[in-house]
A and B are shown apart, each in its own frame.
Chain A
């Protein structure tokens, strides 16, 4: 169980005027600015659920994940995960949790993966049988059996991500935070990681929060999504329902000599708008569609719910 109540986070930072004058001035006095990274948010996640967290850069995704992983202290609010407050960092909590960041490495670069794993076995005190089983199982479905004895820095980006996933999941965590696990990977590696995550979720039923810039990840893995904009949740619900948020809109995709463009129009104005388009442009082709999930989410991320 993840229960988050009114969780918020504010940062303070210094501003410095540009130029040498500003540098000298800042030796003596500095100005402070504050920024709300996370406005009070609420969230509940059940056992076995996987939730997609979506938002633009700087919307507060990573901050939320780091708070729930116990790395960052919130400014106010409460959170209980498996009965623990994450930022108290109880060993019992940490033993049941995993964090995977696509942009940061946790395995040691100079060592073969197996050496890192054996250290993790000791750190998490994984019993021999479980350790052996997990190595077999994970390496099998990730298809990295042959890479386990190679120095990690000599592996490709995709292989390295797979090793990262293995390392994070060796201790069978009940809570998993995945921060952009597919970032920078090519299409086939992305597919492999997605496939693996789906299978893992089915097999072990952990609670998972996943952030990603790739809608494919979200569409394939997360029945439920949370959209975050400037530190606020603007949508929390099922992925299929998100299309309803656009209400009675239709998307016209128009092909002219100059290329293709899209317009979204309320249903009742459809006839009028189509008519206008034919008058204004030399239309080669016209297509009337329901808005795609990508369109809806992009619009929510940009404009929030009310504006659509």
Chain B
């Protein structure tokens, strides 16, 4: 454990020293994320021009939800996105070889090595948006509520990571990840909608099978509404199972990689 922590510190050190050399494309990326935040906030502002309530939430409650998923997005952009971008390429071109011969978990290495130090600014902005929407929230809440919200947002980031991995891992068998990655990004929209709008099999899908609704919507619900044990237990159980399923498929995938590579 200590060794992995040390390794991660090295990753951070490398990426910050790399970010020091300013490159034009870094600033494009920061701009892109900011635009993403603006578009998402505007989207719900426009919806609320036409309705006073949506899925049981008022506009200010919706803004808390929106800032939750913006924060999830910012964290995963900084911590995971570069790694997730390269992972299918590595698998596809048979570049896992050197990761497999080392006495360190290849999953750890491949998921965390590229920390995007230049997206750090977006992390600060996203955090600012969350604080702003909390400060402007008219209902009473406690420090414990906020603490729980933050923990659940971190958990949401892990769910997001797992879902993305589940969409990347088929590349071990299909050789091309483009289709699944496109599917992931279009499914990502399910994270950006309050979970109450999903009914029937769509609800089963987004709260259990590919639990995008658990990333931000459940945490926001536990914060905005009274703490609700069944919701919390659902969130915990699905998170744990998802994590285990992801690890299982990862191992199967490595096995397939080993039998297919030459």
| A contacting B, Cβ–Cβ less than 8 Å | yes
A132 to B235, CA, bound (A): 49
Interface pick from A88-96, A258-266, A293-301? A88-96
Whether B10 contacts A99 by the Cβ 8 Å rule is no
Least CB separation from A105: chain B residue? B98
**A110, CB-defined interface residue at 8 Å:** yes
Whether A11 contacts B103 by the Cβ 8 Å rule is no
Interface residues of A in 232-279 (CB under 8 A from B): none
**A212, CB-defined interface residue at 8 Å:** no
Interface pick from A45-53, A67-75, A192-200? A67-75
Residues in chain B near residue A95, CB distance under 8 A: 103
Whether B3 contacts A71 by the Cβ 8 Å rule is no
Interface pick from B78-86, B150-158, B252-260? B252-260
Whether B3 contacts A94 by the Cβ 8 Å rule is no
Q: How far is the CB of A174 from chain B (nearest CB, A)?
A: 14
A73 to B258, CA, bound (A): 5
Residues in chain A near residue B18, CB distance under 8 A: 110
Whether B258 contacts A87 by the Cβ 8 Å rule is yes
A-B pair number, CB within 8 angstroms = 64
Whether A94 contacts B258 by the Cβ 8 Å rule is no
**A8, CB-defined interface residue at 8 Å:** no
Residues in chain B near residue A125, CB distance under 8 A: 3
**A97, CB-defined interface residue at 8 Å:** yes
Whether B102 contacts A69 by the Cβ 8 Å rule is no
Whether A99 contacts B97 by the Cβ 8 Å rule is yes
**Would A115 and B14 be within 8 Å (CB), given that A11-B260, A66-B97, A72-B261 are in contact?**
yes
Least CB separation from A120: chain B residue? B102
Residues in chain A near residue B101, CB distance under 8 A: 69-71, 94, 97-99
**B145, CB-defined interface residue at 8 Å:** no
Least CB separation from A173: chain B residue? B101
Question: Interface majority SS on A: helix, strand, loop or mixed?
Answer: mixed
Whether B258 contacts A123 by the Cβ 8 Å rule is no
**Would A71 and B102 be within 8 Å (CB), given that A122-B3, A123-B7 are in contact?**
no
Whether A91 contacts B7 by the Cβ 8 Å rule is no
A71 to B106, CA, bound (A): 12
- Interface 1/0s, chain A 111-126, versus B by CB < 8 A? 1000100110011110
Residues in chain A near residue B97, CB distance under 8 A: 66, 69, 71, 99, 101, 104
Q: How far is the CB of B248 from chain A (nearest CB, A)?
A: 17
Most buried by A among B18, B96, B102, B104: B102
Residues in chain A near residue B14, CB distance under 8 A: 108, 111, 115
Whether A11 contacts B10 by the Cβ 8 Å rule is no
Q: How far is the CB of B112 from chain A (nearest CB, A)?
A: 13
A111 to B259, CA, bound (A): 32
**Would A91 and B261 be within 8 Å (CB), given that A101-B97, A118-B10, A123-B7 are in contact?**
no
Whether B261 contacts A104 by the Cβ 8 Å rule is no
Q: How far is the CB of B106 from chain A (nearest CB, A)?
A: 9
Residues in chain B near residue A208, CB distance under 8 A: none
**A130, CB-defined interface residue at 8 Å:** no
Whether B103 contacts A106 by the Cβ 8 Å rule is no
Least CB separation from B95: chain A residue? A104
What are some 9 contacts across the A-B interface (CB < 8 A)?
Answer: A11-B262, A63-B262, A66-B261, A94-B103, A98-B101, A108-B14, A115-B10, A119-B7, A123-B102
**Chain B interface (Cβ < 8 Å from any Cβ of A):** 3, 6-7, 10, 14, 18, 95-98, 100-104, 255, 258-262
Which 10 A/B pairs are nearest by Cβ-Cβ distance? A73-B258, A91-B103, A94-B103, A106-B98, A95-B103, A73-B259, A71-B100, A123-B104, A99-B101, A71-B97
